[in-house]
Structure 1
Amino acid sequence: MRKSLMIASTLALSIGAASAQTTPTTPATPAVTTTAASQVTTFSDVPAGHWAKDAVDVITQRGLIQGFPDGTFRGNENLTRYQAALIFYRLLQTGALSNSNLSQTDLATITRGMQEVSTELAAISSRVTDLEKLTADQQARISALEDRINALGNASTSASPDLTALTARIDALEAAVRNIPAGPQGPAGPAADTSALEARIAALEQKVNAAPATTTTTTTTGTVTTEPAPTTVVIGETPATTPTRGNLYAGVSVSATSGTCYIPNANGKQVKFCTSFGGMVGSSQIIGPFGARVAAEYKPANNAISADANATYSLNTGSSFQPYVGVGLGLTSSTSRSNTSTNTTDTYVNALVGVDYQVTDSIAAFAEGNARYYLSNKGTGALTNSTDVAAKGFVPAIKAGLKFYF
């Protein structure tokens, strides 16, 4: 009922304002008679002959109601308080209220209606002020962006190196996307991650096309910082690295030499080889690739102890396998051939060739071949194929064990 009353009051006020404007003796007539009054807006849902056609034309000519953007009046819809406030606001702006010839009853009715929507009028005024300020701010931001775009366009000729760097980064990212391995669902799995990366690449391409790359570019929307292009982007398995190790080491070994020996504590059972157990300490690098080591071993079958010192030369292959060679001198103490109750010492020249396999940074397995040339054969621990104390000859051996580097 209240909304209907507002509509009626508005229409009455509009008609009264129209009659006041057409009266020659009214002073305010020139102020409200504009070219807009001669323009009639035709609404698609208010055809000719409609019972409210004249009233709609009048209030439209006075600028109180403008209709909807789709060209309709929508006369059957309820009038909201905001719409009523807007109508009264326009009415006050035109000055038609003070120039109307409405009765005191009509003016009182309109006054009450305006008082009811006073809050909405104040809100609309505030919103209009805010919109005007927002429009001014947006215009200032647009002007600033236009100036910056023009400046960027003028500087584009000097940005080719940076653009090349960004292009290289984009190419690398595209290669990385293609190299991403399939997830748990295999090649037919979801492509969400790939889509996200492609979107980021597209954004980078847009930056390359839109602006030259500089050290730091600041705009009203944020800061974009470019970095040097990476040389290579690799996604996948990391390359194998060669373990590093120290120069000093200590090791344990077991070796076998040719000849007929007895197995200790086995009732004198003979075998065709003699086994020795030993240890060593040394350095793989003392001067450049040259190193040295001291080794000792015990042969239970002959109750013989041998010790030698060797100079070594290591070949650095850049892999886990490290070959080496060496030469040296040694002594063997064993039971004398002429007097089994005493021990005697024999001298030998030693030559070796071997290879280390680096298991970890501190542990290596090794295998090597030894060739001892005995200069005498006074003890049973020297030559195994002759009992002549004046004999000389080679005793080959194979040695294997572990080295602990530190």
Structure 2
Amino acid sequence: MHKSLMIASTLALSLGVASAQTTTPTPVTPTTAPATTTPATTTTAATQVTTFTDVPAGHWAKDAVDVITQRGLIQGFPDGTFRGNENLTRYQAALIFYRLLQTGALSSGSLSQTDLATITRGMQEVSTELAAISTRVTDLERLSADQQARITALEERITALGTGAAGADVTALTARIDALEAAVRNIPAGPQGPAGPAGPAGAAANTAALEQRIAALEQRATTTGTTTTTTGTVTTDTTPTTVVIDNTTNTNVANGVTRGNLYAGVNVGASSAGNTTCTLGSGGRAVNYCASFGGMIGSTQIVGPLGARIAADYKPGRNAISADVNATFGLNTGSNIQPYVGVGLGLTSSTNRAPNTTNNVTDTYVNGLVGVDFQVTNSIAAFVEGNGRYYLSNKGTGALTNSTTATDRGFVPAVKAGLKFYF
């Protein structure tokens, strides 16, 4: 009965509107009431009457279909068909009544009391669907207004960016907003039928995608480059970026251990005694090496990995004091073990070799060294080092160990070990 009531209401509605809108109504004698509700795809510009592929010229219902289609009550399906043999769904009937209310045709006075009563009963039958369609239209209108407001706000914020750090992106942002505006304008203004099995398959607006794109634009307008707009004022994020070049403190990192550049150290060492002997302490026994002890101060980095140090040591067996200045080059291995090499010049003061003399004389030498630090803590390292001194003269007993000729030159090897204190 419900289906018959909706069909009768729609038929009465169609005939009544046709008689109200045309001066010479065309007789219609349908046996089955066709009804479709989704937008058609082909219209003529002159009459706005849809041409359906399944309602050809000469069809018994052609005139009635043209009239109700021209009045906007039924628009057909997207594939250009009317589908007059299909059943009318409740949603389709509700959409027809909704369009009728929108056009004001019910208040024209051209419908009979019987037709009005039939239409009223049909509207009551689909009142739930009619209310749902009205709510969807209201929601679409509100969503369209909200999106337009957000796009307007985006335009104002982009304008405020001016020619700052984000100026290069203004053209791209404007183009994207223009595309969004076009998409919003293409949102269907009329209600869309549900996506049920027999319901209309209207072109629903992809509002979720638009929301995401607008949100992304708002975020980009806020954070593009390093520029942030606040009430029309452009401020630049000046978060400092630190670039360290030849830092002079705490730049030596080895396996999690950080050490300073400056250091001081103490050491003990031994060198070859040559063809003579050295004594261990005053009145001690003679040995074939000469012991020494000393200290140093230096820096591991002055220019890049290049450092410098000053070292001095005392050799009791020869009663000789030596001091040298060396340039060093450290090899950062990324571990606790840090090797280094160096070269420099030095002086040795010792007793004169000449017979019957007790005065001290000075000999010069070229120094070469190879060593390795083992970092124990942030401030303490143990080291072992090999030295090679090439003496340019041999006037004192602290110079060459295998010659007594003052003009001789020669090489004297030595080793030392000790501790360095970094700070």
For this structure pair, what is the TM-score category when the shorter chain's length is used for normalisation? 0.5 to 0.7
Contact persistence 1:293–1:311 (CA under 8 A): yes
1:355 to 368, 373, 391: 368
Separation in structure 1 between the aligned mates of residue 120 and residue 229 of structure 2, nearest angstrom: 59
Equivalent position amino acid for 2:265 in 1? Y
Q: CA 1:383–1:216 in structure 2 vs 1: closer, same or farther (change >3 Å)?
A: closer
**Shift of residue 385, structure 1, vs aligned partner:** 6.8
Deviation at 1:317, TM superposition (A): 6.2
Which protein is bigger by CA-based radius of gyration? 1
1:246 alignment partner, one of 237, 257, 262: 262
CA contact (8 A) 1:247 1:405 kept: yes
* Number of the residue aligned with 1:313: 325
Is residue 2:380 matched to residue 1:367? no
How much has 1:15 moved relative to structure 2?
0.7
Cα 1:133–1:284, aligned 2, differ >3 Å: closer, same or farther?
closer
In the alignment, structure 1 residue 90 sits paired with structure 2 residue 99: yes
The answer for the alignment partner of 1:265 in structure 2 is none
What residue number does 1:280 align with?
Answer: 294
Alignment of 1:223-302 (within 5 A): 245-259=261-275, 274-284=288-298, 291-296=310-315
Change (3 A) 1:101 1:318: closer
Residue 16 to residue 280, structure 1, CA distance change in 2 (3 Å): same
What percent of counterpart residues are identical? 48
Mapping 1:178-257, distance limit 5 Å: 215-217=227-229, 245-257=261-273
Question: Partner amino acid for 1:399?
Answer: A
Aligned-pair CA distance for 1:10: 0.3
Other-structure match for 1:53: 62
CA contact (8 A) 2:389 2:411 kept: yes
Aligned to 2:49: 40
Hey, what does 2:14 align to over in structure 1?
14
Q: In the alignment, is the contact (CA less than 8 A) between 2:157 and 2:229 conserved in 1?
A: no
Change (3 A) 1:331 1:112: farther
Residue segments in structure 2 that go unaligned for 5+ positions in a row: 25-44, 169-219, 244-250, 254-258, 279-286, 300-306, 332-339, 353-357, 376-380
Kindly indicate whether residue 415 of structure 2 is the aligned counterpart of residue 400 of structure 1. Answer: yes
Displacement of 1:281? 2.6
* Shift of residue 311, structure 1, vs aligned partner: 3.1
Q: Is the 8 A contact 1:294 1:307 kept in 2?
A: no
Q: Aligned residue for 1:63?
A: 72
**Higher mean C-alpha displacement, 353-362 vs 320-329:** 353-362
CA contact (8 A) 1:13 1:102 kept: no
For 1:122 and 1:84, the matched residues in 2 are separated by: 12
C-alpha contact 2:309 2:326 (8 A) present in aligned 1: yes
Distance 1:349 1:139, change over 3 A: closer
How far apart are 1:277 and its partner, in Å? 4.6
1:342-392 deviation per Cα after TM superposition (whole angstroms, max 9, x unaligned): xxx997756443234453464363322265957689xxxx97678xxxx98
Give the aligned residue type for 1:354: N
2:165–2:227 Cα contact (<8 Å) kept: no
Whole-angstrom distance in 1 between the partners of 2:155 and 2:362: 90
3-state SS in 2 of match to 1:84: helix
The equivalent of 1:139 in structure 2 is: 148
Report deviation, 1:399: 1.0
Distance 1:52 1:71, change over 3 A: same
Alignment length (residue pairs): 295
Q: Is the 8 A contact 1:16 1:100 kept in 2?
A: yes
Say which structure is richer in helix: 1
Q: Does the CA-based 8 Å contact 2:18-2:64 persist in structure 1? A: no
**Deviation by residue 1:23-79 (Cα, 9 ceiling, x = unmatched):** 89xxxxxxxxxxx99753322221122233233223213321122345332334443
3-state DSSP class of the match of 2:142? helix
Cα distance, 1:88 vs. partner? Answer: 0.8
- For residues 116 and 153 of structure 2, the distance between their equivalents in structure 1, rounded to whole angstroms, comes to 51
SS in 2 for 1:315: strand
Distance 2:82 2:344 in 1: 101
Distance, in Å, in 2 between the alignment partners of 1:307 and 1:93 is 119
Whole-angstrom CA distance in 2 between matches of 1:244 and 1:356: 22
Going from structure 1 to structure 2, the CA distance change for 1:306 and 1:282 (only over 3 Å counts) comes to: farther
Query: Is contact 2:308-2:326 (8 Å) kept?
Result: yes
How far apart, CA to CA, are the structure 2 residues paired with 1:2 and 1:351?
A: 122
CA distance 1:217–1:131, shift in 2 (3 Å): same
Give me the whole-angstrom Cα distance separating, in 2, the residues matched to 1:405 and 1:354.
20
The 8 Å contact of residues 274 and 401 in structure 2, kept in 1 or not, is answered as no
Residues in 2 aligned to 1:224 and 1:77: alpha-carbon distance in whole angstroms:
64
Q: Supply the RMSD in Å over aligned alpha carbons.
A: 5.2
Q: Which residue of 2 aligns with 1:79?
A: 88
One-letter code aligned to 2:323: A
Distance 1:376 1:256, change over 3 A: closer
CA contact (8 A) 2:91 2:129 kept: yes
CA distance in 2, matches of 1:376, 1:95: 127
